[in-house]
Amino acid sequence: MLFALLCTDKPGALQVRLDTRPEHLAYLNRLNEEGKLAFAGPFLGEDGKPNGSLVVVKAETIEAARDLADADPYAKAGLFAGVEIKPWNWVFNNPEA
């Protein structure tokens, strides 16, 4: 099952994001290698700078998706003001369909 992790950065936390980015990318690469990552990328503000993330993961349950979200180095660094997790159905342009 797919889950969308809708992550919103705390205001003024861009430096936390930049400082933690290498660990975050390594984490996403590991999830990808394990077959747990569908896709991911940052949301951008009007200034073009990242201000959140969309990460779509493959997990058996919403609790397992929450565990993946909590293990993200961005989450551990306190970057996010909030993370909303929603079951998601990839209908169009799904390469696995």
Q: What is the pLDDT along the chain (97 residues), one digit of tens a residue?
A: 999 999 999 999 999 999 999 999 999 999 999 999 999 999 999 999 999 999 999 999 999 999 999 999 999 999 999 999 999 999 998 888 7
Does some domain include residue 25? yes
- Cβ atoms of residues 54 and 5 within 8 Å: yes
66's tokens: 């929450």
Number of domains in the chain: 1
pTM for the full predicted model = 0.94
Is 95 part of a structural domain of the chain?
no
Q: String of b and e for 70-83 (b: at least 16 CB within 10 Å)?
A: eebbbbeeebbeeb
In-domain check, residue 36: yes
Going by their DSSP bridges, the two strands 80-88 and 2-9 should be labelled as: antiparallel
Q: Which domain holds residue 39?
A: 2-88
Q: Is residue 26 part of a domain?
A: yes
